[in-house]
Amino acid sequence: MDYKKAGVDIEAGYRSVELMKEHVKGTMRPEVMGGLGGFSGAFSMKAIQKMEHPVLLSGTDGVGTKLKLAFLLDKHDTIGIDCVAMCVNDVACAGGEPLFFLDYIACGRNYPEKIAQIVKGVAEGCRQAGAALIGGETAEHPGLMPEDEYDLAGFAVGVAEEKELITGEEIRPGDVLIGLASSGVHSNGFSLVRKVFDMTKESLDTYYGELGCTLGEALLTPTRIYVKALRSIREAGVVIKGCSHITGGGFYENVPRMLPEGVRAVIRKDSYEVPAVFKLLQSRGQIAEEMMYNTYNMGLGMVLAAAPADKERVLAAARAAGETAYEVGFCEAGEKGVTLC
């Protein structure tokens, strides 16, 4: 008896590391110390020491049951972008600049080419965020997970000047709300998605004219990463008063998280075009509109609050960074919460 016969292939693990090295190299930052394969990732603090009052920010998350679609379509090269996005968007939402990222892959069996494709997506997400992929872990779990399945999670660390933290404390009635377009469903609400649509390869390979692609392509579109857009807005000299990453819980849970007591957000649903994938999901599933806005981003991945005088600069800076941005509402005096009208 040996470890391989018990279900853990050490040689496959070595092969996975070799295949992923080229992807990881492309994410390196000057602060990274050492190479891939050590017991820990090392990141120099020299640049941070130049800051006045640096604050470290962290975020951890996974991809959820969106992974089921990757399994069915045998497509694993973008799901890592989702994992990075869910973590770094939270860091950026607080005013932070992501510095480095670590991933964790648990699998029933280590197929090196598949693991390398997953890490390829993680590396691409890190490049989009400007974060270094400095470490990770691939764990083989025979008997605990099916051989052809895996789970993926990650952890990001970022930094911000204390005075530049986005806390929402300065949001006032009359401030404007700016929405940054999402790329689709992102990585939340897929348990409901999987109840609405047949989760078969045939169903996911079905082309929909209103989507302009197959259902699977629309649903597997990776989560948008907003790090560069938020940096562009800050560099334009704008104070982002509040920022809400629209993830699980949709608008009703996430928008109030950036508001101080006594301020209510008002978002106009007709201020932007809701993407076709949400309309299809709602009609096929006969889902109430309130539930849609309580579960999904409905086309807005981030909602920002800013002073009215800064509105045009926010819109221009976001668009210059490649984002589609809309003025979607305003803040008013009232009970902390959100009104969709």
Helix (H, G, I), strand (E, B), or coil: what is residue 10? helix
The two structure tokens encoding residue 225: 């990463």
Q: What is residue 7's predicted lDDT score, i.e. its pLDDT?
A: 60
Q: What is residue 29's predicted lDDT score, i.e. its pLDDT?
A: 85
Q: 287, 290, 264, 266: which is closest to 277 by C-alpha?
A: 287
Whether the pLDDT of residue 10 is over 70: the answer is: no
Q: pLDDT per residue over 87-99, tens digit each? A: 999 999 999 999 9
CA–CA gap between residue 136 and residue 102 (Å, rounded): 5
Whether the pLDDT of residue 81 is over 90: the answer is: yes
Q: pLDDT per residue over 162-194, tens digit each? A: 999 999 999 999 999 999 999 999 999 999 999
What is the set of domains in the chain, with CATH numbers? 10-164 (3.30.1330.10), 176-340 (3.90.650.10)
Whether the pLDDT of residue 104 is over 80: the answer is: yes
Query: Average model confidence (pLDDT) for the chain?
Result: 93
Q: Of 3-12, 16-25, 117-126, 202-211, which gets the smallest average pLDDT?
A: 3-12
Whether the pLDDT of residue 231 is over 70: the answer is: yes
Helix (H) or strand (E) holding 314: helix 311-320
Whether the pLDDT of residue 20 is over 80: the answer is: no
Whether the pLDDT of residue 6 is over 70: the answer is: no
What residues have CB less than 8 Å from 304, skipping those under 6 apart? 177, 178, 179, 180, 233, 240, 241, 242, 243, 244, 314
